[in-house]
A and B are shown apart, each in its own frame.
Chain A
């Protein structure tokens, strides 16, 4: 029931709001704890209380031998995530356009994409590892791991594109074509600007899913680890707050990417709202 805004809220609202608040605490609370603990003093341990405050553990990440090659892992994970982002955006946008029409095999490709989304990442990793072994190819982060990540980000991209295109009416493109636009111009100046917020969404998924992916990277990165594999190695053999410091650094990078994506979507949307309001006002004053 949609009550008028002045009505009192039912008691269920307060119960559900409390559940929601607790859930958000449950989501963020533990993460906040490790960000705090990563500033542990030099003699501090893995749990509270803080034994002084320092940034020693961040230094330990990049200067100690036993923490592994963290700088190198970043120098591979970030370019890999950027390549995955670019390819995911281009391929899923194109495929999303294809699925707006009927074509032979659409159902099959759809089900393969869904299967690729839900197959256990480790099993896929084994499959790609075996394939490269049988073809006598050496797995590398820019070949086998790139493919492994794409098999996971492309289905996500495709589903987002379905959601975006299901709301896009054909009439915009028909209008553009009636005004003499070529297919390419219609795509470039009409379709892409309209679906651009969705494209940013796909890019965000492409980057973050690749940047944090561990199971699919396991047998596919080759001799040089990406970041999640370094983190995995650390969880099994490092028992110092350096692990938390790494968690903080990698999460800061994720947060920067998320903030950039979400704020650019927000800017585009508010720009559109402003233009619409201005246009409506102009029409009103004109009549």
Chain B
């Protein structure tokens, strides 16, 4: 017997498995976090009564503001560095490497580490940056310093190094994608019309890569704002992040305040992302 499926129903059946997984393992859990943020709690667990205490505590605490400033500071620094670095590398691959197969090969070379463990890649900086690590030894040998430099590891510097190491790829790939689609004749036209290298860059390449820049920025900013383990390990516990505070609350089984700060974080991240989306329409780029 042949099963007749009306053509109109086909896309719904095709998308259903993905939609159901996202419903139960993303939408419902997020709703759970939202509900729990209004619950009360004590040492033994969650008390399901409505309260605004979690939010009041959160919004009136100085620590909240300090945590957000700390997290935003890292997000801004890392965004600026990865944007410049990612744009430069994407530009090199898209416009200077003449053989497109080699360009793809070099892009893959940048991508391979992304498919390995980020915790391992993070801790691989420890033997380099440590007090008796490779860099300090080199500096001592060269006579640049008399005693080991202390701020290389377990510092804001180390946190930024690890973020840039792990997240630059998220800038390179979308920017490269946008650049690869730029019609080369536009650039030739600009050059023929007398534009120099810099004007071609600022008036042709950058405007036409803006969807890639926007996507990369969304990835990097949300990754930094959602991080807790890089900041914990690489700062040696000296710096914290918003999600680190959530992590510590949950470790103490304080779910409702953890949920409240998660909700606040999601609101702020959503605001940042929708601001970027207002500037650049990304959906067209993604859906082809």
| Residues of chain A from 119 to 169 with CB closer than 8 A to chain B in the complex | 119-124, 126-131, 134, 147-148, 150-151, 154, 158-159, 162-163, 165-167
Instruction: Give Cα A235 to B232, complex, Å.
Output: 11
Residue of B29, B32, B112, B262 with most chain A CB atoms under a 10 A cut-off? B29
Q: Report chain B residues within 8 Å CB of A128.
A: 25, 29, 32
Q: How many cross-chain pairs have Cβ atoms below 8 Å apart between A and B?
A: 257
Query: Distance in Å from the Cβ of B42 to the closest Cβ of chain A?
Result: 16
* Interface size of A in residues (CB-CB distance below 8 Å): 92
Q: Report chain B residues within 8 Å CB of A151.
A: 21-22, 25-26
Stretch binding the partner chain, chosen from B10-18, B53-61, B72-80, B139-147: B10-18
Instruction: Give Cα A204 to B115, complex, Å.
Output: 8
Contact A122 B246 (CB under 8 A): yes
Contact B14 A94 (CB under 8 A): yes
B68: interface (CB < 8 Å): no
Query: Distance in Å from the Cβ of A276 to the closest Cβ of chain B?
Result: 15
Contact A127 B30 (CB under 8 A): yes
Given contacts A101-B11, A116-B26, contact A130 B18 (CB under 8 A): no
Name the CB-closest residue of A to B129.
Answer: A30
Would you call the interface of chain B mostly helix, strand, loop, or mixed?
A: helix
Given contacts A98-B12, A122-B243, contact A13 B96 (CB under 8 A): yes
B179: interface (CB < 8 Å): no
B116: interface (CB < 8 Å): yes
A85: interface (CB < 8 Å): no
Contact B125 A30 (CB under 8 A): yes
A179: interface (CB < 8 Å): no
Q: Report chain B residues within 8 Å CB of A159.
A: 286
Would you call the interface of chain A mostly helix, strand, loop, or mixed?
A: helix
Q: Report chain B residues within 8 Å CB of A47.
A: 126-127, 130, 132-134
Given contacts A46-B127, A48-B137, A158-B18, contact A208 B116 (CB under 8 A): yes
List 10 other contacts, CB 8 Å, given A5-B98, A130-B33.
A12-B197, A31-B120, A47-B130, A95-B18, A113-B18, A124-B25, A147-B25, A150-B25, A208-B116, A247-B120
A-side residues, CB < 8 A to B, are 1-2, 5, 9-10, 12-13, 16-17, 19-20, 23-24, 26-31, 33-34, 37, 46-48, 87, 90-92, 94-95, 97-99, 101, 103, 106, 109-110, 112-116, 118-124, 126-131, 134, 147-148, 150-151, 154, 158-159, 162-163, 165-167, 204-205, 208, 211-212, 214-215, 219, 228, 231-232, 235, 243, 246-247, 250-251, 254-255, 257-258, 262
